């Protein structure tokens, strides 16, 4: 039964063809999406394989694309090898007609049979066949059979003789392609976009032929000389064309734009002369990839509308927003024309670009400032020469983060207007308030230019900085003092040397808390002018009354400088102190650590020498000074340790350092030739 079925198949495949009244179209593959279908007047690019009904090939479009329909699998089982030649000439539809596919052979066996036994599809041209449809540049049957075909559709077109080469048939000369001799029109030239014409070596003229999409055959096609090689199309021949539609366009086409993503915020779109950075995948209309910027890991960077791109892309990029994604379909006369690019893009090819726009600017752009949040109080705005501390997030125009001060947990500190930062930031940071937030958009010619910098900022990139101004100052600044409250009775004011007690709340300019005496439940006590606090605080505490309240703004060069205080005060930080003077004690005259409140005894040394041994030791000296202070006769410098002051006074009087003071060594302050911090 098995061999009987194969014999039936062999006979069926070699039976005489049934005459046709019209073309017959069998669609062997239809894509899920038909991006475009052929209409009369369209220009098409297609591959084809031309055979007679007995499956003998007479022509094909490309020798390099072998086995387009047949799969090379394993050699068929030996028991069916003897029917190979019979099945070799069977088209798929003919095999199905005799039930081979569905009732006799199992699927794996079918693959093995067809992989070795069907006729391989060698396309003879080395390229697609390119021609207008419906303009009598093809035989009538092909003109009709191609209409309605989708890109990537494969169809078998069966053409009766009267719609092909008729009763005359065709005989190929040694120097020409297949043509209908009676239909050569010497004077009619095809448009430049057509490829249906052939140059004739005999006459040298450009002649039009109504072809089926058929030319010479491959010289290496197997078979006997003169048979199955496309040299002859006999009279009244039915022709079968297995067609794969590759491309369709029309001379009336324009650039087609399909936007499939557009950001909600689109404040600016691409205009002529803008410089753009975009990624793309470039394919032919059948989906064949010919180029991609993604594979190079680099955007395509170019001007738009000034001829740096093919005309179709110049048009297709106009009106795009940053972040927008669109598919741009470019007909060949707005692409690479009839010659292609000489490499991956064939002549007369429609091009499809899947584009995402990352960035664009214009060479005339300056910086742009957006999204400003300005504090209600702005007593001062930054100017050139100021030193600024600010936080920032730096991104590309598409939102890609390239740097952030927040990630380092410290501000970026720099002078502005002096070229320490890129020109766009120098400009964008002028005129800001402390506490202000703003977005600064900087074109590349005011940033890192064509070269970019590092690995994260590409060349010609627009940069976006979202900045928060923490503080700024000028090296010429002094302490800023603002009196919040002052008592009516303010006759006694603090001065250098006074011992003052005060409360404070300390913060940075952005309000960040640093410290407060209220947290400790006690005042901060210092002697003014002694260097116990930063210079700015010294200056801010002078000339205050007890009960007075002030706000001090202290620049870093009068505060904690460039280094700050680790873990507490950032380097180069402007400080804000809210202070209240709680108490103060008048200091001693400069250079004195002890003064008398009454007349000094004429016999001071004798009074100190309590045991009358002719010298004063440290104990006698200390006891005496403490008695004077306790009785109100004398006063030590306030704010210092009394014992340390007294020890210092004793050392100054003990000239020879023997641990005791003699009458000859002892002298009062006004008796000294040099000043000492002593009596």
Active-site positions read 392, 402-403, 422, 448, 465
- For residues 356 and 277, what is the distance between their CA atoms, to the nearest angstrom? 9
Q: What is the separation of C-alpha 621 from the centre of its chain, rounded to a whole number of angstroms? A: 80
Element (H, E) at 116: helix 107-117
User: Which residues, including other chains, have CB under 8 Å from residue 56's CB and lie 6 or more apart?
Assistant: 89, 223, 227, 228
User: Which residues, including other chains, have CB under 8 Å from residue 19's CB and lie 6 or more apart?
Assistant: 160, 238
Mind giving me the DSSP string for 585-647? E--PPTT-SEEESSPPPTTHHHHH-TT-SSEEEHHHHHHHHHHHHHTTSEEEPTTS-HHHHHH
98-112: burial string, b at 16+ Cβ within 10 Å, e else? bebbeebbeeeebeb
CB atoms within 10 A of CB 294: 13
Radius of gyration of the chain (CA): 49
Sign of CA dihedral 284, 286, 292, 295: negative
Q: What is the separation of C-alpha 33 from the centre of its chain, rounded to a whole number of angstroms? A: 33
User: Which residues, including other chains, have CB under 8 Å from residue 84's CB and lie 6 or more apart?
Assistant: 76, 116, 117
3-class DSSP assignment, residue 519: helix
**Residue 251 near residue 192 (C-beta atoms within 8 A):** no
- For residues 12 and 510, what is the distance between their CA atoms, to the nearest angstrom? 93
* DSSP summary character for residue 138: B
User: Which residues, including other chains, have CB under 8 Å from residue 168's CB and lie 6 or more apart?
Assistant: 180, 181, 182, 235
What is the residue whose two structure tokens read 């404070």? 504
């Amino acid at each position: 039964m098995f061999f009987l079925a194969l014999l039936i198949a062999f006979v069926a495949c070699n039976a005489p063809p049934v005459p046709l009244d019209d073309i017959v179209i069998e669609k062997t593959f239809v894509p899920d999406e038909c991006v475009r279908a052929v209409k009369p007047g369209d220009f098409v690019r297609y591959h084809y394989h031309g055979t007679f009904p007995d499956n003998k090939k007479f022509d094909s479009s490309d020798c390099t694309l072998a086995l387009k329909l047949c799969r090379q699998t394993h050699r068929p089982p030996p028991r069916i090898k003897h029917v190979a030649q019979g099945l070799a000439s069977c088209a798929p539809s003919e095999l199905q007609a005799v039930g081979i596919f569905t009732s006799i052979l199992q699927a794996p066996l079918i693959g093995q049979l067809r992989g070795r036994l069907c006729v391989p599809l060698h396309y003879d041209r080395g390229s697609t066949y390119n021609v207008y449809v419906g303009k009598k540049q093809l035989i009538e049957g092909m003109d009709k059979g191609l209409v309605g075909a989708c890109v990537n559709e494969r169809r078998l077109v069966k053409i009766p003789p009267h719609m092909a080469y008729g009763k005359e048939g065709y005989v190929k000369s040694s120097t020409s392609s297949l043509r209908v001799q009676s239909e050569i029109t010497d004077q009619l030239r095809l448009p430049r976009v057509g490829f249906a014409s052939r140059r004739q070596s005999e006459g040298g003229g450009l002649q039009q032929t109504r072809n089926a999409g058929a030319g010479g055959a491959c010289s290496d096609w197997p078979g006997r000389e003169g048979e199955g090689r496309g040299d002859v199309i006999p009279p009244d021949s039915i022709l079968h064309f297995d067609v794969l539609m590759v491309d369709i366009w029309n001379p009336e086409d324009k650039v087609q734009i399909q936007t499939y993503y557009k950001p909600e915020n689109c404040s600016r779109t691409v205009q002529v002369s803008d410089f753009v950075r975009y990624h793309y995948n470039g394919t032919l209309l059948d989906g064949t990839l010919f180029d991609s910027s993604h594979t190079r890991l680099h955007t395509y960077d170019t001007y738009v509308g000034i001829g740096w791109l093919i005309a179709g892309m110049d048009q297709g990029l106009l009106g795009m927003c940053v972040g927008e994604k669109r598919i741009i379909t470019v007909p060949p006369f707005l692409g690479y024309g009839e010659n292609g690019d000489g490499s991956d893009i064939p002549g007369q090819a429609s091009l499809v670009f899947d584009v995402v726009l990352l960035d664009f600017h214009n060479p005339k752009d300056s910086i742009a400032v957006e999204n400003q949040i300005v504090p209600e109080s702005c007593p001062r705005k930054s100017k050139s020469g100021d030193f600024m501390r600010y936080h920032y997030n730096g991104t590309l125009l598409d939102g890609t983060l390239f740097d952030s001060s927040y990630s380092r947990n410290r501000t970026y500190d720099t002078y502005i207007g002096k070229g320490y930062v890129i020109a766009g930031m120098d400009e964008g940071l002028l005129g800001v308030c402390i506490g202000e937030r703003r977005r600064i958009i900087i074109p590349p010619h005011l940033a890192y230019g064509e070269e970019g910098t590092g690995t994260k900022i590409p060349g010609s990139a627009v940069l976006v900085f979202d900045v928060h101004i923490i503080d700024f100052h000028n090296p010429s600044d002094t302490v800023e003092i603002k009196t919040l409250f002052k008592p009516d009775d303010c006759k006694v004011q603090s001065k250098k040397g006074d011992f003052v007690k005060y409360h404070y709340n300390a913060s940075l300019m952005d309000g960040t808390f640093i410290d407060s005496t209220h947290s400790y439940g006690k005042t901060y006590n210092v002697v003014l002018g002694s260097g116990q606090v930063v210079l700015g605080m010294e200056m801010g505490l002078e000339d205050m009354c007890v009960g007075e309240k002030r706000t001090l703004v202290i620049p870093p060069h009068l505060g904690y400088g460039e280094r700050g205080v680790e873990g507490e005060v950032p380097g180069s930080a402007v400080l804000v102190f809210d202070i209240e003077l709680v108490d103060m004690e008048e200091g001693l005259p400069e250079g004195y650590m002890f003064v008398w409140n009454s007349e000094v005894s004429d016999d001071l040394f004798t009074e100190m020498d309590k045991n009358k041994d002719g010298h004063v030791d440290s104990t006698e000296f200390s006891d005496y000074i403490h008695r004077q202070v306790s009785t109100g006769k004398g006063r030590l410098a306030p704010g210092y340790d009394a014992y340390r002051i007294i020890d210092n006074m004793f050392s100054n009087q003990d000239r020879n350092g023997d641990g005791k003071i003699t009458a000859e060594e002892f002298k009062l302050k006004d008796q000294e030739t040099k000043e000492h911090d002593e009596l």
